[in-house]
């Protein structure tokens, strides 16, 4: 069973056009402020969308009240409506509340010298959030399942797709980061410890600011190389000379669009018999390293997480598998750690 999400038609152009003009003014001022502090361009529209949701609720169920006059009780009613009527997950509620809280802080700290806002104080942080429980069933892939997908793509001579899937499996990079790999990254001179490709330049990844977080990326060489070789040979046959490892089919000077990767999801889901989504391969990569005995701090460095807690979050090794590493019919057994070259 794959992941499911409840979608609601909460906003519409007609509803947004009726939102209190004072609230629209605050939203626009806030979004403009986010640009001034170099918030990621991809984040700002999401903030605007979340505020539209809240203001449409405020329009329909709270008399289109001025934002600065909304009370704690009314914020609590919004949260209750989102949880019980829209069936939002606690995580989504927390995200939207965080955006509302950021708007509140902007008014309190930045607009406090403007007429009408001098005495405003944020109250939404006083509303307790629902317990953050997991409501989605994530997809966990076994190595044999993904290998069958790779074999299928190779048999069909879809070497580009096979290489993208393999790169995600053996680098743990996010969907938006996979298109940013260049051909030059996979020169022999960029191999370290005989088993890892390390990008010679920092690559933009998810992070705050318009530049995101710039880091070096790592790829398990021995695992990825067979699919890279097939794709590079096919590229040569097709006369593709783009610097991007996976160029866009319509414009070879640009990398493949993440939306193109999304288009492959349904095909892979049907083949595998369970929902395929690219982030599941980030889990797979982390789990592969963990099962191989790679220490948590090393996995953290490879994936470039700020906290070691993220390793356990992405490691899908079951409790029985973990226990089985250390016990057999003779009792406690000696476990040897593996190195990256063993993968």
Per residue in 281-310, pLDDT (tens digit) is 999 999 999 988 899 999 999 999 988 889
Supply the range of the domain harboring residue 170.
143-276
Burial class (CB in 10 A: 0-12, 13-18, 19+), 10: middle
pLDDT at 70 over 70: yes
Q: Examine the domain organization and report whether 197 and 104 are in the same domain.
A: no
Q: What is the pTM of this model?
A: 0.66
H or E element, residue 204: strand 203-205
pLDDT tens track for 34-63:
999 888 777 889 899 999 999 999 999 999
End residue of a domain, out of 63, 95, 126: 126
| 43-47, 165-169, 185-189, 331-335: least confident range | 331-335
Residue 132 in domain: no
Residue 284 in domain: no
- Which CATH number belongs to the domain containing residue 152 in this structure? 1.10.443.10
pLDDT at 322 over 80: no
Residue 332 in domain: no
Residue 231 in domain: yes
Q: Examine the domain organization and report whether 119 and 233 are in the same domain.
A: no
Q: Examine the domain organization and report whether 116 and 214 are in the same domain.
A: no
Q: Tell me if residue 301 falls in helix, strand or coil.
A: helix
Q: Examine the domain organization and report whether 179 and 270 are in the same domain.
A: yes
Q: Examine the domain organization and report whether 149 and 269 are in the same domain.
A: yes
- Which CATH number belongs to the domain containing residue 103 in this structure? 1.10.150
pLDDT at 5 over 50: no
| DSSP category for residue 244 | B
Residue 288 in domain: no
Of the chain, the percentage scoring pLDDT greater than 90 comes to 74
Count: domains in the chain: 2
Q: Examine the domain organization and report whether 113 and 152 are in the same domain.
A: no
SS3 annotation, 48-102: HHHHHHHHHHHHHHCCCCCHHHCCHHHHHHHHHHHHHCCCCCHHHHHHHHHHHHH
C-alpha to C-alpha distance for 252 and 50, rounded to whole angstroms: 35
């Amino acid at each position: 069973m794959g992941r499911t999400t409840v979608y609601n038609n909460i906003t519409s152009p007609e509803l947004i056009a009726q939102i209190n003009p004072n609230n629209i003014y605050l939203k626009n001022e806030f979004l403009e402020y986010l640009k001034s502090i170099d918030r990621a361009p991809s984040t700002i529209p999401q903030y605007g969308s979340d505020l539209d949701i809240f203001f449409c609720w405020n329009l329909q169920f709270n008399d289109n009240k001025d934002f600065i006059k909304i009370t704690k009780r009314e914020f609590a009613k919004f949260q209750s409506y989102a949880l019980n009527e829209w069936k939002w997950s606690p995580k989504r509620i927390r995200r939207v509340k965080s955006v509302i809280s950021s708007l509140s802080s902007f008014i309190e700290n930045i607009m406090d010298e403007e007429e009408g806002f001098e005495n405003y104080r944020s109250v939404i942080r006083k509303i307790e959030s629902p317990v953050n429980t997991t409501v989605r069933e994530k997809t966990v892939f076994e190595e044999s399942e993904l290998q069958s997908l790779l074999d299928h793509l190779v048999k069909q001579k879809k070497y580009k797709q096979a290489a993208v899937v393999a790169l995600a499996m053996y680098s743990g990079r996010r969907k938006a980061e996979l298109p940013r790999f260049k051909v030059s990254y996979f020169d022999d001179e960029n191999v370290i410890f005989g088993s890892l490709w390390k990008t010679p330049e920092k690559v933009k990844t998810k992070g705050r600011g318009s530049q995101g977080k710039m880091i070096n990326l790592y790829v398990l060489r021995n695992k990825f190389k067979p699919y890279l070789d097939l794709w590079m040979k096919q590229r040569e046959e097709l006369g593709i000379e783009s610097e991007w490892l996976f160029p866009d089919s319509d414009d070879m000077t640009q990398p493949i669009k993440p939306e193109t990767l999304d288009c492959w999801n349904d095909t892979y889901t049907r083949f595998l018999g369970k929902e395929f989504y690219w982030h599941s391969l980030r889990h797979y990569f982390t789990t592969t390293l963990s099962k191989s005995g790679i220490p948590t701090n090393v996995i953290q460095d490879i994936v470039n997480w700020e906290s070691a807690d993220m390793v356990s979050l992405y490691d899908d090794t079951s409790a029985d598998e973990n226990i089985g590493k250390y016990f057999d019919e003779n009792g406690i057994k000696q476990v040897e750690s593996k190195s990256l070259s063993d993968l």
